[in-house]
Amino acid sequence: MSGTTTTQRMPSYLEYKGRFKGLAGWLLSTDHKRIALLYLYSQITFFLAGVVMGIFMKIELMAPGQQIMGPATYNALFTVHGLTMIFLFIIPGLAASFGNFFLPIMIGAKDVAFPKLNLFSWYLFMGGAIIVLIGIFTGDGPPDTGWTFYAPYSLKTNTNVVLTVFGAFVLGFSSVLTGLNFIVTIHQMRAPGMGFFRMPLFIWAMYGTSWIQLLATPVVGITFIMVIFDRVMGIGFFDPAKGGDPILFQHLFWIYSHPAVYIMILPAMGAITEIITTFSNRVVFGYKAIAMSSLAIAFVGYLVWGHHMFTSGMSDTARLVFSLLTFLVAIPSAIKVFNWSATMYKGSIDLQPPFWWAMAFLFVFMIGGLTGLVLGSVATDVHVHDTMFVVAHFHYIVFGGAGLAFFAALHYWFPKMWGKMYNKKVANIGLLILFIGFNTLYFPMFILGIMGMPRRYYDYLPEFATPNLISTVGSWILALGLIIVIVNLLRAKKAPPEIIDNPWNGRTLEWKIQSPPTLENFEEIPVIDHGPYDLIKE
């Protein structure tokens, strides 16, 4: 326990009564912690909606032939599933929710640099989400282009592409403003004594993420606007009939969307670093290497977008260069994995639920990363491009990596955010079921991909039947695990509050204040005179 602070308890940010009561006290609050919860709840809602869509798709794929939906519905479903998961759940991801909550606290600040802008970003986020939803339910039906909106099909389809794309543009705007806010916060608001190299590694990850949000998002933003104008005004930027080049669309799209993968995964890696360090009871191994690898990922991540286009028509030189760079960008990720392992080595490991989540993350992330190399090398990618192998790979990275880290972070910081503890045993059981379900769901897809089953089809040849059936059963196991995990957390939220300011013996600043934090986080701004993970006897 952090001793001294527990004696006098102040009203927490959850209890604080401001000028607005009830719901308005949340919807109009500029407190970064309340905004973080707004994001958290909306993201989890979107995630669950996406999961339901995924499960329906898996039911359709249970056996060859049509089960519960025809091709058009399936096309709409994977598009909307992809859009929801990518733009509404995992791109805001850990940054918008846990970043918002803990970034100011971990650097010893009372809030972000621009609190009103922060709230505005959330409204933009919800506005974008609502526009996307309207796009899905009105007009000539939900888009069926895939979340990638590739031209020229996205220019030709009769479905409601314009609204959806515009929604995605608004979401991008929200993401840019959040990134901007965080960069200024990190530069201007660190507590006295906290140099850049005394920041917790989660903050370094957030710093890299924010820069990517800033540098990459405008490119896809304007590309989406060009698609809209192509459709509405018939300009022809990407329409080959008018001289436009659809491949150029792919370039512009992936110049953003590859770095976007790092927007999803960097904060996840940051949270995992915090968790592993805390539960290993050791100083993190290779602090600077981890910090710098975040920046390296951020910048090298820009130069590899071509690996999504190995089969789109590019010169051999371009393909080889993109392939080489792709292999290079794997290095900083691997650095992190090795540093995590080294941190655990000879640590006195405390096997708590967040740690198990981090281990689950590590396991699936490694499979995702290694299969990424298969896709990064031109020769093998040409074989598995646009097959189920790709679907398996990105679910291992995005869901297994960023998604599991999201839940790891939720279990790690839950006692801090609500001042309550969940049932640890149930949490572990839920995770175990979810983990088994996850691998049963996605691992067969690697095999299916290598066998040649293409992605984005509602039907398949009879020889693909068995792995598909196994995979569908996996989706049910996963759903069961997910339900257990979420119900467990919801029940904990309803329980009476306890005094648990530092249940894990965490050493970063958020564990030195009361749970849940007060409105101002720190009644007195702390002065920092040591590294973030130094083991200090109190």
Partner 1 sequence: MEHNATTLSTHEHYDPVGAKLGMWLFIFTEMLLFGALFIVYSVYRYRHPVEFHLANQELNVTIGFINTVILLISSATVAMSITAMQKGNKKLTMIFLLITLLLAVVFLINKYFEWGAKIHHGIYPGSEFLLSLSHGDILFFGLYFFMTGLHAIHIIVGMVILIWVFVRVKQGRVNINRYALLENGGLYWHLVDLIWIFLFPLFYLIH
Binding partner at 387 among ligand HEM, Cu ion, partner 1, none, C-beta below 5 to 8 Å by kind = none
* The binder of partner 1 chosen from 65, 192, 234, 497 (CB under 8 A): 234
Nearest in space to 203 (alpha carbons), one of 119, 274, 301, 306:
274
Give the C-alpha distances (Å, rounded to integers) separating 470 from 105, 264, 371, 454: 45, 28, 20, 17
Opening angle at CA 92, ends 428 and 201, nearest 5:
70
Count the residues in the chain.
538
What does the H/E/C string look like for 97-126? HHHHHHHHHHCCCCCCCCHHHHHHHHHHHH
**Cα 300 to Cα 295: distance, rounded to the nearest angstrom:** 9
* The binder of partner 1 chosen from 40, 90, 133, 226 (CB under 8 A): 226
Q: Which is nearer to ligand HEM, 148 or 428 (CB)?
A: 148
390: amino acid identity, one letter: V
* The binder of ligand HEM chosen from 82, 143, 246, 506 (CB under 6 A): 82
249 close to 309: Cβ distance less than 8 angstroms: no
Which part of the chain contacts Cu ion (CB under 5 A), choosing from 70-78, 93-101, 258-266, 512-520? 258-266
**Cα 493 to Cα 471: distance, rounded to the nearest angstrom:** 33
Find the binding residues for partner 1 in span 92-111 (CB under 8 A).
Answer: 110-111
Strand partners, 454: 387
When asked if residue 393 is in the footprint of Cu ion (CB under 5 A), the reply is no
**Cα 333 to Cα 505: distance, rounded to the nearest angstrom:** 27
When asked if residue 258 is in the footprint of Cu ion (CB under 5 A), the reply is yes
When asked if residue 257 is in the footprint of ligand HEM (CB under 6 A), the reply is no
Minimum distance from CB of 196 to partner 1 (Å)?
A: 15
Minimum distance from CB of 281 to Cu ion (Å)?
A: 36
Minimum distance from CB of 170 to partner 1 (Å)?
A: 14
Find the binding residues for ligand HEM in span 476-505 (CB under 6 A).
Answer: 478
Residue at token pair 């983990």:
435
On the question of a cis peptide bond just before residue 152, with omega within 30 degrees of 0, the verdict is yes
When asked if residue 392 is in the footprint of ligand HEM (CB under 6 A), the reply is no
Query: Which two structure tokens, joined as six digits, stand for 255?
Result: 């110049």
**Cα 378 to Cα 496: distance, rounded to the nearest angstrom:** 56
Encoded one letter per residue, x for contact with partner 1 by CB under 8 A and - for no contact, window 471-510 reads ----------------------------------------
Which part of the chain contacts Cu ion (CB under 5 A), choosing from 7-15, 256-264, 422-430, 453-461? 256-264
Find the binding residues for ligand HEM in span 415-474 (CB under 6 A).
Answer: 455-456
360 close to 402: Cβ distance less than 8 angstroms: no
Site of interaction with ligand HEM (CB under 6 A): 50-51, 54-55, 57-58, 78-79, 81-82, 85-86, 89-90, 146-148, 391, 395, 398-399, 403, 455-456, 475, 478
